[in-house]
Amino acid sequence: MLKLAHVDYGKLPWGVHFNEALRLSREGFAISPRLHGFIKFYQRVVPVAAEEGLLDTINYLFDDQGQPLPVGHLLKNPDYAETLTAVAEDPRNFYVGKIATDMVDRVQMAPRAGGLTEQDFADYEAKRHDALCIAYRDNTLCGPPPPSSWVAVGMVSGLLERGPAFSEGGAQDVVNWALFGEAQRLAYADRDKFVADDTFVSVPIAGMLSDSYLDERAQLISSKQAIEHITAGDPWKHQGVSKMSPGEDNTLDVAGTTHFIVVDGEGNVVSMTATVESVFGSARMSGGMFLNNQLTDFSRTPTDADGNQLVNAAEPGKRPRSSMSPTIVLDKDGEFLMATGSPGGNSIIAYTAKTLVAVLDWGLSAQEAIDLPNLVARGDLIRIEGERSEDSLEAALRSFGYQLEAGRGENSGLSTVVKRANGVLEGGVDPRREGVIEVVTIETPN
């Protein structure tokens, strides 16, 4: 994928982009307090004996006494430096040869041996896909198609534009938060039921983002009282198609994701989310990399309790549904206005939509938008970030009709860039994690 982008837009020779990662791999980086806390907290699920699993994680992130490496420890990864060196020479080295063979060997080791093969790697092909886009206010929001869940971000925006209007109170008005929550609930219900790999199953994307369907669903939203119980709608009829309704999804999303945004000097923009699924992936390592645990993004069973087929059931060659929702916003002239995105499991949709609403509707800066409490409204139990929300907001949301759970755990990692009217780029990073804003200069090699 990176090579495809480089062919289209790259200016420097392929390979020089890896230099900083190579330096960190060889020279090391200091373990931060947050990373140390994760190692310590998730020690309980890391295999510590051969019968429990491979010992890659314990050997990499723990000392000889089995204790988490301390804050400030210089963590080096020479194996990853070898991997990066090989990929810098030729991206196909990732898919054919030693790197792929070593990953297959690690996956196939007992216990819980997997079926990944070298042929799976050799057959892999990166593909370009057209973005999904939806008009919002005077802007255009764009994000990736299925199996990404970005369509839910688009639906949240479309529902808010058609439902009861926000007041001028912005983030200070509890009704605005309630309207945002209701749009989330409707979008999540449809996403959970319909979104999967659309090369394997039919996904009613056109219906979900159609004016007629969004108009119909937005009529359910009231500024006075919460919808008592949310169910998925029927976007198929808005595509002029009659389809059997799929079963009730039972996918269990696990967090283990990262996000970043880059805007270059010529105005090109990347909003990119990547994941290994769960904090240390499968806890197996190869080539200096944690191997992912991505199968958890499929439904846990192929059918629901009533025997109905689930669209996100696992199948050979199928891509699991992802909550990742990197977003780019264009203004009325088609020029770059904003980019945003976040890690955070299935809450990514809510986190990303929050920044869009806060900047485009409530007039906040990129950083102010990120700093707002996270409200995740998926189903009938609504979660809000208690550490950042006022008691009065929580009480008002309960009065609105929400079964509200206020507490910790809404661990977003938002990155947002906004281009202001004077052309200045304004960045925001999530204080809940370790984001940074940097101006980077890459020297052109002689």
Instruction: Report CA-CA distances (Å) from 25 to 86, 103, 235, 290, 344.
Output: 14, 19, 48, 14, 26
SS3 115: coil
Strand partners, 417: 339, 427
Q: Distance (Å, rounded) from C-alpha 310 to C-alpha 302?
A: 6
Annotated catalytic residue: which of 57, 83, 257, 327? 257
SS3 125: coil
Residues 6+ apart with CB under 8 A from 266: none
Largest CA distance in the chain: 66
- Please report which helix (H) or strand (E) contains residue 315, including its range: none
Sheet holding 381-385, edge to edge: 375-378, 381-385, 403-407
Is residue 30 within 8 Å of residue 73, measured between CB atoms? yes
Q: Distance (Å, rounded) from C-alpha 83 to C-alpha 396?
A: 53
Q: Distance (Å, rounded) from C-alpha 351 to C-alpha 255?
A: 13
Residue closest to 138 by CA, chosen among 331, 339, 328 = 331
Residues 6+ apart with CB under 8 A from 174: 392, 393, 396, 397, 400
Sheet holding 336-341, edge to edge: 132-136, 139-143, 327-330, 336-341, 415-419, 425-429
Strand 375-378 relative to strand 381-385: parallel, antiparallel, unpaired? antiparallel
Cα angle value 214/216/222 (rounded, 5°): 95
Residue for token digits 């204080």? 431
Query: Is 257 known to be catalytic?
Result: yes
Residue closest to 92 by CA, chosen among 14, 148, 176 = 14
Is residue 235 within 8 Å of residue 213, measured between CB atoms? yes
Strand partners, 383: 376, 405
Question: Helices 150-162 and 174-194: crossing angle, nearest 10°?
Answer: 140
Q: What is the set of active-site residues?
A: 257
